[in-house]
Amino acid sequence: MICEYMEYVYIKNVKIAKTAALAPMADVADGAFRTVAKKYGAAYTVGEMVSAKGLVYGDKKTAALLKTADFESGFERPRAVQLFGSEPEFMAKAAVIAAGERPDIIDVNAGCPVAKVVKTGAGSALLKPENAKLFGGIINAVVSAVDIPVTVKIRSGWDENSINAVETAKIAEYYGALAVAVHGRTKRQAYSGTADWGVIAAVKKAVNIPVIGNGDVDGAEKCVQMYERTGCDLVMVGRAARGRPWIFRDIARYVETGEPPSALDLTEILAVMREHIELIVRDKGESAGMREARKQAAWYLKGIRNAAGYREKCARLVSLKDFYELAGRILADAGS
């Protein structure tokens, strides 16, 4: 390994390789995506965030988000499910339901910046200084409800005037969270600007539980830089994995050997893309699956020749046959 500390991190009894984990991206990190990410080297995966109230009220679509992706042994391990909500009692009840699906970890979302989540008092709304007591109550309720590790994902703060990740992480630790993931942006930044890795480093110094760093890691070298500059215990990759699940393999190889990643050729990219889209269709059926596949396919095609035109065609995919024809056209065009 190129860094002697790059081995494993433990969240209670959950052993995770210190390479890179898949972040819990809503409407992205479904079972198919997690399966492909795991196959291509993700050390740990966190599923799409799940509404606590939806789960407690028995919504079937919400419950489906808890399902484990099937990979080789039939289990996606280690894995976490992520819950969001603003009421401790609902979060506790949802955690019990989620634990029934046998995840390794339950993660509490206190970082989502999306308006429809924030307006309910959940996600990044929990980072407002005036919500510190509520945040602590939620962590306490979830930890008390289940016997598996509970973690939390936060941001650097609500806005540039309230950078309170250190205080928030300390609250989480006090109430029993066993790790904290820190995205180095504020709620107001959403996904714009640059992530502040200094905030991640400050959290690492302030707490005695594992700290997971998140933000702006788009390749193997950046991953190692985050480990070195922040001292974090694990790196989490989100948007950079869309259309590039092999980023986890590149990171693992670089961390372990120092070998720089080599670019995939078009045939290899299309093969991974096909595998991913077939998994989506397997899980969701052709009609719903192909609607989901449109954006996934477009991400895979980023950077190839004539990408804009192909992405336009992706937006009109309605069947696997359409996809196979498009993939064939892309290969034919590349050879002409």
pLDDT tens by residue, 304-321: 888 899 999 999 999 999
Query: Which band of pLDDT confidence, cut at 50, 70 and 90, is reported for residue 264?
Result: very high
Residue 71 above 50 pLDDT?
no
Q: What is the mean pLDDT of residues 67-81?
A: 71
Dist CA 82 CA 91 (whole Å): 11
Domain boundaries along the sequence of the chain:
8-257, 266-335
- CA angle (333 as vertex; 330, 336 as ends), nearest 5: 155
Identify the pLDDT of residue 70: 59
How many DSSP H helices and E strands does the chain contain?
14, 10
Q: How confident is the model at residue 334 (pLDDT cuts 50, 70, 90)?
A: confident
Instruction: Return the pLDDT at 172.
Output: 98
Q: Please provide the average confidence, as pLDDT, over all residues in the chain.
A: 93
pLDDT bracket for residue 249 (50, 70, 90) = very high
CATH topology for the 8-257 domain:
TIM Barrel (3.20.20)
Whether the per-residue pLDDT at 330 is higher than 80: the answer is: yes
* CATH number belonging to the domain at 266-335, selected among 1.20.120.1200, 1.10.287.3510, 1.10.1200.80, 3.40.50.1980: 1.10.1200.80
Q: Buried b vs exposed e over 261-292: b needs ≥16 C-beta within 10 Å?
A: eeeeebeebbebbbebbbbbbebbeeeebbeb
Q: Is residue 124 helix, strand or coil?
A: helix
Q: How confident is the model at residue 248 (pLDDT cuts 50, 70, 90)?
A: very high
Catalytic residue at 232? no
With beta carbons less than 8 A apart as the criterion, state whether 199 and 231 touch: no
- Give the strand pairing for 8-11 and 14-17: antiparallel
Q: What is the 3-state secondary structure (H, E, C) of 68-113?
A: CCCCCCCCCCCEEEEEECCCHHHHHHHHHHHHCCCCCEEEEEECCC
Run of H or E residues at 248: helix 247-257
What's the CA gap between 329 and 92, in Å, rounded? 51
The pLDDT of residue 303 is: 87
User: How is 130-194 classified by DSSP, letter by letter?
Assistant: GGHHHHHHHHHHHHHH-SS-EEEEEEEESSTT-B-HHHHHHHHHHTT-S-EEEEEEETTTTT-S-
**What CA–CA distance (Å, rounded) separates 87 from 95?**
12
Confidence grade of residue 262 (pLDDT, cut at 50, 70, 90): confident
323 CA to centre of own chain: 26
Phi, then psi, of 301 in degrees rounded to 5: -90, -5
User: What is the DSSP secondary structure assignment for residue 324, as one 8-state letter?
Assistant: H
- Per-residue pLDDT of 2-38, as tens digits, reads 455 558 999 999 999 999 999 999 899 999 999 999 9
Q: 272 near 246, Cβ under 8 Å?
A: yes
Average pLDDT rounded to a whole number, residues 244-271 = 92
Spot the catalytic one: 3, 112, 232, 314.
112
Residues listed for the chain: 336
Residue 171 pLDDT class (50, 70, 90 cuts): very high
Tens-digit pLDDT profile for residues 183-229: 999 999 999 999 999 999 999 999 999 999 999 999 999 999 999 99
How far is the CA of 305 from the CAs of 100, 169, 271, in angstroms? 47, 45, 17
Percent of the chain with pLDDT over 90: 88
